[in-house]
């Protein structure tokens, strides 16, 4: 895990976006993880996004995947723009806006003002998270929340938490509290995941450190494993664009079939460059298979799981040499693999 551009300490972000929704339990985990990471490539480029936790737990009655997002944004304008973009513009399936996807249900989402946020441990250690929402009535407790934040923050550090956020939503008269924990010890990966999740959800809430005169009613309390973290500050510095704290309990994303060059022969007049899609169905292979010149860069960009999956796929493809292609060039964005290969007729 190579996370760059994030330091422990106070976080200066002014806004947060919190979303929770269900995805049917009949969707395989490998497919869900891969889809989330494909979506990340578009969504994590929005202005002002600092980071995102993707929470995951399972509905005990239906088996549905309970997922969502816990984002931090630099400014209030950034988070409102993100809400507008995902609601009015973003379509991964033609004609279907992001929040109208038929496999989403029980959607709950809102933007929040950040009273305070602090990370005590590096992001690589952020294994599980707990979101609590409380309603209040009457006069806004903003000043009381601001006064209580240092106490909440100190208590989180004393209890060994990895991070804490305190949030407010004035329009709906709500207070939000996010606590993040590192992984606990256990016999194996699955046992460590179970212990970590149980300990976080059974922990006494830090909300007890708010002044007694702030009358609250609990609206929501969910502890989840962090399926993945989105890291938009890390990738431009040469670090990971995302991380997967719960692997191998949950799988890593698999290569996207649209992003691999098919092993086919081209006329010698054909050249390959960035930014245009190849026509027709493709088999995913790492760029290292197309030329010796690109092998080193491709091996650096591809994780072992991606490369092995692509190699397996390539064995079932027609055995056609790529030597007919005179040159292969792919622009590498940070350490990410090239995402589009373009074929032009010379």
DSSP assignments along 269-337, one per residue: TEEEEES-PPSS------GGGT-HHHHHHHHHHS-HHHHHHHHHHHHTS----STT---------TTSP
The verdict on 84 and 216 lying in the same domain is yes
- Please give the DSSP secondary-structure letter assigned to residue 90: -
- Say if residue 213 is in the same domain as residue 100: yes
Looking at the structure, do residues 229 and 286 belong to the same domain, yes or no?
Answer: no
237, 275: one domain: no
Q: Does residue 250 fall inside a structural domain? A: no
Residues 191 and 72 in one domain: yes
Same domain? For 315 and 272 the reply is yes
For residues 213 and 307, membership in a common domain is answered with no
186 plus 132 within the same structural domain: yes
**Model confidence, pTM:** 0.75
Q: Is residue 69 part of a domain?
A: yes
Tally of domains in the chain: 2
Residue 2 belongs to a domain: no
Is 279 found in the same domain as 230? Answer: no
Rounded Cα distance between 173 and 139, Å, is 9
82 domain residue, yes or no: yes
Buried b or exposed e, range 273-297, using 16+ CB within 10 angstroms = eeeeebeeebbbbbbbbbbeebeeb
Q: What is the pLDDT along the chain (346 residues), one digit of tens a residue?
A: 899 999 999 999 999 999 999 999 999 999 999 999 999 999 999 999 999 999 999 999 999 999 999 999 999 999 999 999 999 999 999 999 999 999 999 999 999 999 999 999 999 999 999 999 999 877 788 899 999 999 999 999 999 999 999 999 988 999 999 999 999 999 999 999 999 999 999 999 999 999 887 889 999 999 999 999 999 999 999 999 999 999 999 999 987 655 443 333 334 443 444 333 333 333 333 333 333 333 333 333 333 344 344 434 433 333 323 332 222 323 323 333 333 333 333 3
- Classify the C-alpha dihedral 332-302-274-325 as positive or negative: positive
Q: In terms of domains, do 100 and 236 share one?
A: yes
Residues 176 and 42 in one domain: yes
- Which of these three, 243, 276, 309, is where a domain ends? 243
User: Looking at residue 31, which CATH number applies to its domain?
Assistant: 3.30.70.100
From 243, 271, 302, give the residue that closes a domain.
243
Could you tell me the residue range of the domain that residue 127 belongs to?
Answer: 9-243
Residue 206 and residue 273 share a domain: no
């Amino acid at each position: 895990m190579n996370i760059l551009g994030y330091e422990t300490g106070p976080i200066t972000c002014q806004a947060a976006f919190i979303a929770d929704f269900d995805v049917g339990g009949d969707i395989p985990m490998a497919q869900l993880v891969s889809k989330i990471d494909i979506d990340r490539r578009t969504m994590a480029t929005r202005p002002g996004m600092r980071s995102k936790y993707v929470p995951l737990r399972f509905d005990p009655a239906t088996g549905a995947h309970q997922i969502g997002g816990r984002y931090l944004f630099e400014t209030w304008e950034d988070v409102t723009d993100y809400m507008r973009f995902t609601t009015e513009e973003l379509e991964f399936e033609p004609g279907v806006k992001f929040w109208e996807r038929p496999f989403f249900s029980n959607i709950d989402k809102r933007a929040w003002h950040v009273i305070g946020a602090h990370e005590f441990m590096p992001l690589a250690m952020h294994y599980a998270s707990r979101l609590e929402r409380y309603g209040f009535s009457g006069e806004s407790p903003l000043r009381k929340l601001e006064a209580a934040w240092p106490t909440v923050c100190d208590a989180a550090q004393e209890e060994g938490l990895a991070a804490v956020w305190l949030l407010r939503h004035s329009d709906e008269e709500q207070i939000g509290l996010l606590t993040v924990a590192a992984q606990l010890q256990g016999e194996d990966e699955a046992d460590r995941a179970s212990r970590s999740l149980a300990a976080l959800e059974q922990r006494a809430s830090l909300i007890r450190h708010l002044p007694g005169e702030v009358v609250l009613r609990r609206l929501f309390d969910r502890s989840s494993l962090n399926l993945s973290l989105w890291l938009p500050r890390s990738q431009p510095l040469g670090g990971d664009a995302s991380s997967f704290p719960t692997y191998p309990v949950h799988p890593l994303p698999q290569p996207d079939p649209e992003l691999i060059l098919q092993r086919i022969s081209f006329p010698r007049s054909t050249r390959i460059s960035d930014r245009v899609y190849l026509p027709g169905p493709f088999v995913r292979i790492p760029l290292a298979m197309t030329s010796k010149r690109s092998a080193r860069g491709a091996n650096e960009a591809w994780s072992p799981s991606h490369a092995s999956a692509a190699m397996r796929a390539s064995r079932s493809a027609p055995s056609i040499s790529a030597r007919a292609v005179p040159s292969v060039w792919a622009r590498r964005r940070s350490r990410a693999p090239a995402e589009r290969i373009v074929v032009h007729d010379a």
